[in-house]
Amino acid sequence: YSNVFFCSFSAASVLLRVKLNVRRHLREKNTIPKIFAETVHRHGDKTALIFEGTGERWTFRQLDEYSNRVANLLLERGFKEGDVVALFMENRSQYVGIWLGMAKIGVEAALINFNLRLDALVHCVTISNAKAVIFGSELTDAVSEVHSSMGKAVQMFCSGDWDPKRVPQGTECLEPLVAGAPSHLPPRPDHRLFYIYTSGTTGMPKAAIVVHSRYYRMAALVYYGFRMTSDDVLYDCLPLYHSAGNIVGVGQCLIHGMTVVIRKKFSASRFWDDCVKYNCTIVQYIGEICRYLLNQPVRDTERQHRVRMALGNGLRQSIWEEFMNRFNISQIAEFYGATECNCSLGNFDNKMGACGFNSQILPFIYPIRLVRVDEETMELIRGPDGVCIPCKPGEPGQLVGRIIQNDPLRRFDGYVSQTATDKKIAHSVFKKGDSAYLSGAEGKAGMAAIADPSHSTNLEKFVKDMEKALPPYARPVFLRFLPEVNKTGTFKFQKTELRRDSFDPSAVSGRLYFLDSSKGRYVQLDEELYRSILSGKCKL
């Protein structure tokens, strides 16, 4: 990451403020439900959540009452602190109320990506040791496909339109059960908050552990760092099974009393209309959302809104200025991080093109740095003393954060799988014998290399099988067919040369294909299509 620059004193002061707040909450044993109770006391009758799909508005008091009923229902059914319940549904206000209700009694929610199907879905439920699954009626077919693989001991609850003929046998309708449960405040244990799954583009998803202090830290860093207020209205069109939507977004509601507009799914054509309708002042984005908005035809509402800030990560430097000018956005609140990482960054000074800061003023508060890596293998490069070598200004490298478990900003809670946790930790990074989190490198568009010497692959069948087994983000955007796939001397697949060739048809011998999402099939990749992809005319 080379677009990181040195921070001002104001950024360092934000880190110090959040660190002190987290320490206070830990000392006072303030969980997210307990902090939310204070928010309800301050903002009881104010609108907390708006669900764009129905226009339904919940006040803070209504959200509190709904989550209490969920908590008491689960207690009545025998769930206890430390149990896990999988939550598998599309965005809506109930989503927040359900996991918040679980948190009030120490039941941990496993927030499962609603795009998952078959083996990946079963994997996410089973590795969490979930005793129940609460699913949205819109996902009944997906649940029915795998119900027999989950085991009879897993209880099933359906939220939404109820059709007893379609749901798996033994499933109960959630709504009347919640409505009939007591609304009083249940006991408040202190336990893990929930699990958020990594995307798992190179394998099955990993369940990252989110504790109460981490939830607070992530939400508070952007709130104070980007100078938000409780009077802001935030437009959240991101999936609630991920940290961007459920912590960075919804966290502003639960912790800071902000009104949050929840959208079922992102819509480029409805984006600015929604912002005008609900008087939004902050919008969230991730990845290519900003480019999708720029590709939309010009409409009046794109400059009639009250939005002053776009909050998110992944805005390309090449379209940064165009996005601000066209949509009249005065501040881009770009940040970089991951659900489980301890080295998040924030562009608190609105510097164009940057994803964050590297503090040289108060490094002991937030010890992070870029270190040199072998760009072919991504292995850390070490000096004669065995310690990692820091990057010079402007030099790309891998972001690392020193792990100090008793420091709320430096701790690394890891994953449910200890093996997965160990893979993200390096030693002797800042100094001999220390430990640090590796933030790795993320891919935006994967390529699969397939050995097909006889040219017998049926691409239509391949697409159908892939759609059943893989969520959209895990499907290879490019295919490369080879006579054979080369291996190293230790029988590992040789990926270095394949990565170097990329998807350039002039550099690749053999057949290349591109997944055209508009057509739902792979098309042959030629020079013209290659140039169209590079120019951004053709969407990945």
Pairing of strands 172-173, 155-159: parallel
Q: How many alpha carbons fall within 13 Å on the CB side of residue 522?
A: 25
d(CA 241, CA 246): 7
Q: How many alpha carbons fall within 13 Å on the CB side of residue 199?
A: 16
In total, the chain counts a number of residues equal to 540
> Rounded to 10 degrees, what is the CA torsion of 265, 477, 417, 412?
-70
Tokens 């160990």 correspond to: 422
Cβ neighbours of residue 127 closer than 8 Å, sequence gap 6 or more: 204, 207, 416, 417
User: Is residue 506 within a helix (H) or strand (E), and if so which, with residue range?
Assistant: none
Cβ neighbours of residue 13 closer than 8 Å, sequence gap 6 or more: none
Ranges of each domain in the chain? 447-535
Using one digit for the tens of pLDDT, what is the confidence trace for 362-371?
566 678 888 9
**Could you say which residues of the chain have pLDDT below 50?**
1-8, 201, 488-492
Say if residues 134 and 484 touch (Cβ distance below 8 Å): no
d(CA 55, CA 538): 34
**Residue 349 DSSP symbol:** T
Amino acid identity of residue 497, one-letter, is E
Exposure class string for 381-415: b at 16+ Cβ within 10 A, else e? eeeeeebbeebeeeeebbbbbbbeeebbbbbbbbb
Collapse the DSSP code of 18 into the 3-class scheme (helix H, G, I; strand E, B; otherwise coil) and give the result.
helix
302: β partners: none
d(CA 222, CA 208): 21
Q: Which two tokens stand for residue 79?
A: 């769930």
Q: What angle do CA 213, 433, 6 make, to 5 degrees?
A: 60
| First-to-final CA distance of the chain | 22
Nearest to 223 by CA among 183, 266, 282: 282
Nearest to 339 by CA among 248, 406, 254, 404: 248
Nearest to 346 by CA among 233, 220, 212: 220
User: Is the four-CA dihedral 201, 206, 209, 210 of positive or negative sign?
Assistant: positive
Beta strand segments in 287-381, E: 309-313, 331-336, 345-346, 356-358, 368-371
SS3 sequence of 212-275: HHHHHHHHHHHHHHCCCCCCCEEEECCCCCCHHHHHHHHHHHHHHCCEEEECCCCCCCCHHHHH
Using one digit for the tens of pLDDT, what is the confidence trace for 219-266?
999 999 999 999 999 999 999 999 999 999 999 999 999 999 999 999
User: Is residue 133 within a helix (H) or strand (E), and if so which, with residue range?
Assistant: strand 132-136
Q: Which CATH class is domain 447-535?
A: alpha beta
**Residue 446 DSSP symbol:** -
Using one digit for the tens of pLDDT, what is the confidence trace for 76-132?
999 999 999 999 999 999 999 999 999 999 999 999 999 999 988 999 999 999 999
Give the number of other CB atoms < 10 A from CB of residue 490: 5
214: β partners: none
For helices 118-127 and 459-469, what crossing angle results, to 10°?
Answer: 20
* Helix, strand, coil share (%) of the chain residues, nearest 5: 35, 20, 45
Sheet of strand 56-59, all strands in order from the earlier edge strand to the far edge: 56-59, 47-51, 259-262, 233-236, 282-286, 309-313, 331-336, 345-346
User: Is residue 76 within a helix (H) or strand (E), and if so which, with residue range?
Assistant: helix 60-76
